[in-house]
Amino acid sequence: MSISLPHISRIIFAGSVGFICGIVLISFFTLSIDAILIAIILCTVGFFVIFYKSEFVWIVIVFILLFGIGAVAMQGTLDDIVKKNAIVGTILNGEAYVIDDVVRTDWQSKVIAQYNDDITVLIQDEKYTNVVRGDILLLQCTSALPENFEDFDYQKYLAMKGVDYICEDFEYTIIGHQDSILNALARARVYMENIVNTMIPAPQSALANGLLFGGDDRLSEDLQQKFAVTGMTHIVAVSGYNVSVIVMAVMAVAIFVGVHRKYAVLIAIFGVLLFVALIGFPSSGVRAAIMGILILVAASYGRVSYMYGAILFTAAVMLVFNPLLLRYDIGFQLSFLATLGIVVVYPILEKLFMRRKTSIGIVEILLMTISAQIFVLPIIVYHFHILSVVSLLVNVLVLPILPITMLFVFLMIVISFIFYPLAMFFGWLSYFLLSYEIKVIDFFAQVGWNSIEIMDVHLLWFTLYYIMLIGVVVVASKMKKNEV
């Protein structure tokens, strides 16, 4: 009896897709795990008995088994959240360690602290709190569950970030500080942000810090809204696309000054690691770095066709540690889909719009942007209820100068430690570029037809969009192969 086994890459691909699909199913539908497991067992046995001689059966079996594991993992995570309701209203008292950066909004600061028994709480403190990452607090509060919004499950969102409870009626005293590499990096970042705030006026300084360190919380609510309606929020988000633009720009500069392409790739990877270190190795930054490096390797070595499995496998591994990422982390969704979009769509657009292979430049960055936005469009519409009509045009006008802007801001910070007058020169250059970017976004944000409001986004709309998109990609890929 001869049994044909598929290549290991196909097994990994099938397992990754199956695991992700299992998590998707339980994320959006309430189903009986027992029923799912029975169906999996019956399907596995049936396929094996009928098609045991075909290598295809092993791919299907791996998909089905990992599908079940993904479903069980997601259900187990949801069950753990429900169990936490048992100690709601309990008074928590003791030492707690501030484990993450303090996020300051227009009216409050959000502090995440963890007790010694691994209970993690969110403190919603006054805006100008003195608490910083690494502080040890003597904290007393009452545990409470966060209130969900009308169309947003805030409780599961905080659970995805590792937060168990909201801290109500809290009182705390800072009793010490525990330093670490991450805390030192966080302090260094805050120090560099203060340099930017000193040398560049607002709101340009807020955009500069957002570009360099990620996050739109430094922007005013009015400016955040303008970024949303023009489809430019992604430029201050730590996502796979955002990082990929950085690495492509670093590679372009390195190749332009004569560095061999192989070494330019290594320089770009170092740039990614430096960028993630500067922002304190947040989980979103680490994910973005992984996705960005995958894009870099694919684009640099021409192995794009082999990257689908790598991206899906990377996403699956991330979901093993935190299944809630898939539904409740916008950054994960944008990083995963934008990376997949660049790898899948970019080669097709490159074939259509570029007559010959050139070094990385403006056209490539714009094509990458279009590729990414095609894949993330439904996610943006779902979360922000806005379909930007002017997004592509604004991206074309702004994106080409973003890498230069980030370079000037970075040089300004570094040179400020050496020769302040020269740092001011780069500060002025940065200010003019940042002003241009804000004015472009502000202009198109005031155009009456800049966006379409879409309030009801059904899951069926998602499904149909991606089915049609996959169909178009498959057809275009086949046409491309026939031309070769």
The reply to whether omega before 146 is within 30° of 0 (cis) is: no
Neighbours of 104 (CB within 10 A): 17
Residue 453, pLDDT above cutoff 70: yes
**Which residue bears the tokens 């067992």?**
41
| Buried-exposed string 215-234: b where 16+ CB fall within 10 A, e elsewhere | bbebbeeebeebbbbbbbbb
State phi, psi for 287 to the nearest 5 degrees: -60, -45
Q: Summarize the confidence of residues 125-152 as an average pLDDT.
A: 82
Quote the mean pLDDT of the chain.
79
Stretch among 194-198, 296-300, 356-360, 430-434 having the lowest mean pLDDT: 356-360
Stretch among 117-126, 397-406, 418-427 having the lowest mean pLDDT: 397-406
What 150-154 contacts at long range (C-beta under 8 Å, 24+ apart), as own/partner pairs, is 153/328
Task: State how far the Cα of 346 lies from the Cα of 338, in Å rounded to an integer.
Answer: 11
Residue 299, pLDDT above cutoff 70: no
Residue 282, pLDDT above cutoff 80: no
pLDDT at residue 2, rounded to an integer: 47
* Amino acid at site 454: I
CA torsion, ordered 253, 255, 260, 265, to nearest 10 deg: 60
pLDDT at residue 61, rounded to an integer: 81
* 5 vs 454, higher pLDDT: 454
Residue 58, pLDDT above cutoff 60: yes
* 410 vs 217, higher pLDDT: 410
CATH match for 88-178 among 3.40.50.300, 2.40.50.140, 3.40.718.10, 1.10.287.610: 2.40.50.140
Stretch among 12-16, 380-384, 476-480 having the lowest mean pLDDT: 476-480
pLDDT at residue 355, rounded to an integer: 58
Residue 19, pLDDT above cutoff 90: yes
Share of the chain above pLDDT 70, in %: 84
pLDDT at residue 428, rounded to an integer: 94
If we measure between CA atoms, which residue out of 438, 356, 376 comes closest to residue 402?
438
What tens digit of pLDDT does each residue of 354-406 get?
655 554 556 776 777 788 778 888 887 777 777 777 887 887 788 778 878 88
Stretch among 381-395, 419-433, 437-451 having the lowest mean pLDDT: 381-395
CA torsion, ordered 235, 240, 244, 247, to nearest 10 deg: 100
β partners of residue 167: 143
Task: State how far the Cα of 114 lies from the Cα of 120, in Å rounded to an integer.
Answer: 4
Residue 1, pLDDT above cutoff 50: no
β-pair type (91-98, 109-115): antiparallel
Neighbours of 95 (CB within 10 A): 14
* 275 vs 409, higher pLDDT: 409
